[in-house]
Each structure stands twice: as C-alpha cells, then as structure tokens.
Amino acid sequence: MHKLRFIAHKELRHILRDPRSLIIAILMPILMTLLYGYAINLDIKNIKLAVIDFDRTSASTDLIGRFYNSGYFSKATGPVSIDNPEMILKKGQANAVLIIRPGLSEAIQKLKNIRNRAGLAIDKYELGLIVDGADANMAAAAGSYSSIIVSQVIKDNLPPGFELPGIKISRQVLYNPDLKSSHFFVPGLIAIILMMISALLTSVTVAREKESGTMEQLLTTPVTPRQIIIGKTLPYVGLALLDGILVLVFGVFHFGVPFTGSVLLLFAFGVIYVISALAIGIFISTVVKTQQLAMMGAMMVTVLPSVMLSGFIFEIKNMPLILQIITHIVPARYFLLIIRGIMLKGSGLELLWVEASFLILMSILLLSVATKKFKLRVG
C-alpha cells in the first residue's frame, strides 16, 4: 500500500509538471462537448421543402401552411420545375418536394361528408412526396413528419366521432420528449471521454516509462508490476472522473440535459467503467513500445468502437449481426445504457443490473488479462 502511494504521487507530479497534457485532459472534454453539442446536431429540422401545387384551392393552401408551420420544414431556396421536380433536389435547393395533385379539395369535401364507416373506403387521393435519400436520416424524418401532418389534416376534416380507418397514430415520445439530441449525446460523450482519457493516458504513461528506461529501473526495485500499474493508473482514475464530472455539469447546466436518477449510482458505475478503460490502456501499453504507438493504438481500440459500436451514434439493433455480436465486447455499450438509463429515465439498479453485471464482468476480465500480460512481458 505504501509503495502504491509513492508511485501514484510520482505520477501526479508528472501530470502536474506537464502543462500540455493537463490542458489536453481538461480542455479536450469541454471542446468535445461543445463540438458534439452544437456542430453535430442530429435533430432534424429545417427540411427544405418545395411544393408543386396542382390543386390551387384553399385546401391546398391550408396543407402547405401546415407543412411550413410545423417547424420541421422550411421553404426551398430555389424555384421548382414542374417538368423536372428532381432537379431541385440535385441542386441541393430542397430536400423534399411535395406534389399536390388536383382533387385535394374534393377529397377533403368527401371526408367531411362521410356519414358511415363504409364511406371511408371509397375514394383514394394521394399526395406525392419526393425525398432526397442521400441523407437517410433526413429522408426518414421527412416521410414521418409528412404523414403526421397529413393524418392531422384528415382527422381535422372528419366529422366528429369518426376515426381514421386503419391508421391510428399514437406517437408518444418518452424520456426525451423534445427529441433533443443533446440529451442523447451528453451521456454518450461522457462514456467516450472517460474511455479516451483513461485508456489513452495510461497507455501513454506506461509506454513512456518503457521508452525512457525507467520501467526497467523500477523493476529492479522491490515493487511488483501490479503495484506499478495500480500506482500509475490511480491519478488517471481521478483525472478521468474529474473530466466526466466536467462534461456532466456542462451538459446539465449548459445544454439542459435532465438528470433524473441517482448521482451516486452513476458515480459507482463510472468508476467501474473507468477501470475497464484503464485495463484496455494497460493492455495496449504491454503490446507497444513507444508513446506514439500507444496513442494510436488507444485511439483505434477505444475511441473508434466507443463511438461506432456502442449505440452512441448508430443503433445497435440496426447493425449487421456480426457487428451486433462485436458490440458485446465494447464496454462503452454497457455504460451507455447505464448512464442514459440513470440520467434520462431515472432507472435504478433493479432495471440496470444486466448491463451492470456485464460491465463488472468485463472490467474484471480486462484487468486480469492486462496485469497478466504485463507480468509476462516484463519477465
């Protein structure tokens, strides 16, 4: 225990004496939060919509008004050609084109005059929507927003007591009612920053001692490899948690991300998660010999999977099966579910125990492999 303290103390001195790494450790999380919070905005708004109105009645004017007033659509930035409506998409002046065929007002009139359920089935009137599929998220959003608007129109025009045949839209968004992506991003960002700082800095610091020969010197003294590893990583646990708190505070107070669950529970899982990240960092440092390689390795092994395969940006259930299987060895996957659960839904241990046990298992596994590997390399 005694020796651990001295090693940790020495490591802290290294950190404090190198202002550059300290600045990176403190400033990077803030910059990343700002970047993800502002620049990468997954909220789909301002879909540029062009309209070709063949109907030209008050009904069509009403419909167009509903689209533009919904908050999701804005006016296209160029004129749309009736003969070649795709052109405006190609030019990028619109993301979607709504085509209102003649007969809208008659169709609506018929809706109003429906007297019995049989009447609902008769006439068919279709609106056209051409969407630029190059941005899949945008395309999907344009489609679903449009159908919401149209079904609202139908509902408003049906005589009282009638419901939409077959279509019953009951969209209810729980936990993130405004569908704000910052609510999703901030927890994910904490997961990534914790992983990055812990794995990156530990792998670099161990590699640095190897590079400079101090590791060899240290190993001729009575300290054991385990003491070296634990002592060296302790200050980084602190630093990583400090970063996590920084992003959390920033997210809650600046981006207004709700925090409904237990802070203590999140902290406990944060520590477990950081341990798994440190283990990965140690593992990398046993394989590589230079700081540069360690840094690159840590980026590849931690940041990339944590961003791509954790459910942070891409939903796991939409991935190909093989990738879905791989996500199970990405610690960020479990932590992400835990932190989102705790922050956004206020979930407790009774709901999170599966993810929690996976995460704990993962940490133990990684740490034992890492220390074992470290010993072997040294011997």
| Residues in touch with another protein (CB under 8 A) | 2-3, 6-7, 10, 13-14, 17-18, 212-214, 216-224, 378-379
Nearer to another protein, 132 or 209 (CB): 209
Nearer to another protein, 18 or 178 (CB): 18
Closest distance to another protein from the beta carbon of 320 (Å): 41
Closest distance to another protein from the beta carbon of 210 (Å): 11
Closest distance to another protein from the beta carbon of 213 (Å): 4
The pair of structure tokens assigned to 99 is: 């085509």
Nearer to another protein, 16 or 325 (CB): 16
| 47 bridge partner residues | 73
Closest distance to another protein from the beta carbon of 343 (Å): 39
Closest distance to another protein from the beta carbon of 277 (Å): 25
Closest distance to another protein from the beta carbon of 185 (Å): 36
Alpha carbons 6 and 223: distance in angstroms, whole number? 11
Nearer to another protein, 219 or 245 (CB): 219
Nearer to another protein, 1 or 321 (CB): 1
Closest distance to another protein from the beta carbon of 294 (Å): 18
The pair of structure tokens assigned to 343 is: 């922050």
Q: Which of 103, 108, 92, 109 is nearest to 128 (CA)?
A: 103
DSSP 8-class letter at 165? S
Alpha carbons 153 and 107: distance in angstroms, whole number? 11
Nearer to another protein, 2 or 168 (CB): 2
Helix axes 263-287, 349-378, angle to 10 degrees: 20
Nearer to another protein, 116 or 220 (CB): 220
Nearer to another protein, 20 or 168 (CB): 20
Query: From the CB of residue 219, how many other CB atoms can be counted at a distance below 10 Å?
Result: 15
Closest distance to another protein from the beta carbon of 281 (Å): 20
